[in-house]
């Protein structure tokens, strides 16, 4: 089995930022481990992001443990390839023991530990950390397969740039972060875009003289544990706020796009052949997104007032466009639409994890990453502990917590073994004495 051992104290599965952060923290404690990555380090950033992709979160939030973003543009937004370099540099900096090209195909309990079936053979581990994110399988509605085969359909993870699509108009389905940014990418390239708008909220990019993220950080929003959030664990199902880091960062204002010629619709409900049914919720969805946007502005206003901070006054958002009756039917052929981009997210696939640690909906049962199976951990999931858990800003803290737990448990089991050893010795001594 190449240079892999047959047993490790800890096996970390996944060589993205979460697995590498975990490795760095284990190393700090001197805990032996290996990181198994089925592709290459930072695979999802390399392969599932479009050419003009950049971070939505400011660079200063890239806080991999002991390796914060050190470039000149702390308040800028790294481009895709810069993000990949940042992660690869981190792996080099920590000398992470990563084995690329090794997929774990089955994980099961074995004795007091675990057995991993991998593409490089079987490996035993005392403990395992699953750092494989939750974005596994592109999610596309079932009716997609009933649509006319002449329509090109791709998922956001396969979108690269406008030239990849055939001539004609494009329907983007979904208005989360990816949907809005891909719609903008196409719009800026002069392509005619139709956008089916869902219920994602939005956030100002800059407000009262600073990036809203900086204000929200001062407000402690990124340190709020999930159990203290008003929605508790329910927040994990929320869509991300839309805004962009493109060209130094700006708001994403769908109403402005509409003024510039983008066609907006409510949520896509169903479809067959070339005909699509859409909800009549466009106005509601736009209003709700703006309500959240202005709610964030108010939160920042209160913070500024309470702390007597000198900050320029910025107006709250006023709608620049309001839909008249949005169509609830759309004929793709009649509208000249030749492509659909599904920006409808991902679903998780834990089918290879044969451990009794799931909650019945396919989500791992855990508290701050410590699962219900002794010795098995998850890390890197959105709102695992805080908002930043699935992002660069919070992954270091979560990895540190899990590594500390592993360290404590290792000490306990050493103490147990030591105790058991002492018991055996004294029983032997007693027998000898008799």
Ligand X SMILES: Cc1cc2nc3c(=O)[nH]c(=O)nc-3n(C[C@H](O)[C@H](O)[C@H](O)COP(=O)(O)OP(=O)(O)OC[C@H]3O[C@@H](n4cnc5c(N)ncnc54)[C@H](O)[C@@H]3O)c2cc1C
Q: How far is the CB of 180 from ligand X (least distance, A)?
A: 11
Considering only residues 290 through 319, tell me which ones interact with ligand X, judged by CB under 6 A: none
14 lies in the site for ligand X, by CB under 6 A: yes
Q: How far is the CB of 243 from ligand X (least distance, A)?
A: 10
37 lies in the site for ligand X, by CB under 6 A: yes
221 lies in the site for ligand X, by CB under 6 A: no
By the 10 Å C-beta count (0-12 exposed, 13-18 middle, 19+ buried), 344 is classed as buried
Q: Which of 104, 173, 330, 370 binds ligand X (CB under 6 A)?
A: 104
Considering only residues 250 through 279, tell me which ones interact with ligand X, judged by CB under 6 A: none
Phi, psi of 293 (to 5 degrees): -55, -50
178 lies in the site for ligand X, by CB under 6 A: yes
Read off the DSSP letter of residue 241.
P
Nearest Cα neighbor of 252 from 334, 333, 176, 315 is 176
Query: Using CA atoms, how far apart are residues 300 and 430, in angstroms rounded to an integer?
Result: 71
13 lies in the site for ligand X, by CB under 6 A: yes
Dihedral sign of CA atoms 203, 206, 212, 214 in order: positive
Angle between helices 17-28 and 392-433 (to 10 degrees): 40
Considering only residues 381 through 410, tell me which ones interact with ligand X, judged by CB under 6 A: 390-392
Nearest Cα neighbor of 315 from 328, 300, 325 is 300
Does residue 362 come out as left (phi exceeding 0), alpha (psi in the -120 to 50 range) or beta?
A: left
Q: Which is nearer to ligand X, 120 or 144 (CB)?
A: 120
In the shown chain, the binding pattern of residues 112 to 151 toward ligand X, with x for contact by CB under 6 A and - for none, equals -------------------xxx-x----------------
Q: How far is the CB of 270 from ligand X (least distance, A)?
A: 26
Nearest Cα neighbor of 353 from 124, 115, 41, 126 is 115
In the shown chain, the binding pattern of residues 346 to 385 toward ligand X, with x for contact by CB under 6 A and - for none, equals ------x---------------------------x-----
Size of the site for ligand X (CB under 6 A): 29
By the 10 Å C-beta count (0-12 exposed, 13-18 middle, 19+ buried), 324 is classed as exposed
Q: Which is nearer to ligand X, 56 or 337 (CB)?
A: 56
Using Cβ positions, the residue closest to ligand X within the complex turns out to be 16
Q: How far is CA 221 from CA 213, 216, 224, 394, 400, in A?
A: 9, 6, 5, 12, 20
16 lies in the site for ligand X, by CB under 6 A: yes
85 lies in the site for ligand X, by CB under 6 A: no
Nearest Cα neighbor of 318 from 244, 251, 267, 238 is 251
Q: Which is nearer to ligand X, 132 or 195 (CB)?
A: 132
Q: How far is the CB of 233 from ligand X (least distance, A)?
A: 18
Q: Which of 12, 17, 23, 99 binds ligand X (CB under 6 A)?
A: 17
Q: Which is nearer to ligand X, 64 or 258 (CB)?
A: 64
Considering only residues 42 through 71, tell me which ones interact with ligand X, judged by CB under 6 A: 43-45, 55-57
Query: Using CA atoms, how far apart are residues 24 and 65, in angstroms rounded to an integer?
Result: 7
Does residue 146 come out as left (phi exceeding 0), alpha (psi in the -120 to 50 range) or beta?
A: alpha
108 three-class SS: strand
Q: How far is the CB of 45 from ligand X (least distance, A)?
A: 6
39 lies in the site for ligand X, by CB under 6 A: yes
Q: How far is the CB of 261 from ligand X (least distance, A)?
A: 25
Given the rule CB under 6 A, which residues bind ligand X? 13-19, 36-39, 43-45, 55-57, 103-104, 131-133, 135, 178, 352, 380, 390-392
């Amino acid at each position: 089995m190449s240079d892999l051992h047959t047993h490790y104290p800890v096996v970390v599965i996944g060589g993205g930022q979460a697995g590498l952060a975990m490795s760095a923290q284990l190393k700090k404690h001197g805990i032996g481990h290996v990181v198994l990555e089925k592709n290459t380090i930072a695979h999802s950033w390399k392969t599932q992001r479009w050419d003009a992709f950049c971070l939505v979160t400011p660079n200063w939030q890239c806080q991999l443990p002991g390796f914060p973003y050190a470039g000149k543009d702390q308040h800028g937004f790294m481009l895709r390839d810069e993000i990949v370099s940042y992660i690869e540099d981190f792996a080099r900096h920590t000398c992470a023991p990563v084995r690329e090209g090794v997929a774990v195909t089955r994980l099961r309990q074995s004795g007091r530990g675990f057995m991993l079936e991998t593409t490089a053979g079987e490996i035993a581990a005392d403990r395992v950390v699953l750092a494989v994110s939750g974005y596994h399988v592109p999610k596309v509605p079932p009716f997609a397969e009933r649509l006319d085969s002449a329509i090109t359909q791709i998922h956001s993870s396969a979108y690269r740039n406008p030239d990849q699509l055939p001539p004609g108009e494009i329907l983007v389905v979904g208005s989360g972060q990816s949907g809005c940014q891909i719609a903008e990418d196409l719009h800026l390239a002069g392509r005619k875009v139709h956008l089916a708008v869902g219920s994602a909220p939005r956030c100002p990019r800059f407000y009262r003289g600073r990036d809203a993220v900086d204000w929200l950080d001062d407000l402690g929003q990124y340190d709020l544990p999930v159990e203290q959030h008003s929605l508790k664990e329910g927040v994990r199902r929320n869509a991300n706020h839309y805004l962009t880091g493109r060209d130094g960062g700006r708001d994403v204002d769908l109403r402005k796009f509409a003024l510039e010629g983008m066609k907006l619709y409510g949520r896509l409900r169903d479809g067959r052949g070339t005909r699509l049914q859409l909800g009549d919720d466009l106005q509601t969805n736009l209003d709700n997104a703006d309500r959240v946007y202005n709610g964030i502005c108010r939160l920042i206003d209160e913070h500024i007032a309470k702390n007597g901070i000198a900050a320029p006054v910025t107006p709250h958002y006023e709608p620049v466009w309001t839909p008249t009756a949005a169509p609830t039917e759309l004929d793709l052929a009649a509208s000249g639409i030749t492509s659909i981009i599904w920006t409808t997210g991902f679903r998780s696939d834990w089918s290879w994890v044969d451990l009794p640690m799931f909650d019945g909906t396919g989500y791992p049962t855990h508290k701050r990453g410590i699962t219900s199976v002794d010795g098995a951990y998850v890390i890197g999931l959105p709102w695992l502990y805080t908002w930043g858990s699935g992002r660069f800003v919070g992954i270091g803290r979560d990895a540190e917590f899990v590594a500390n737990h592993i360290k404590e448990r290792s000490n306990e089991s050493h103490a147990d073994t030591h105790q058991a050893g002492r018991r055996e010795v004294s029983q032997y001594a007693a027998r000898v004495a008799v």
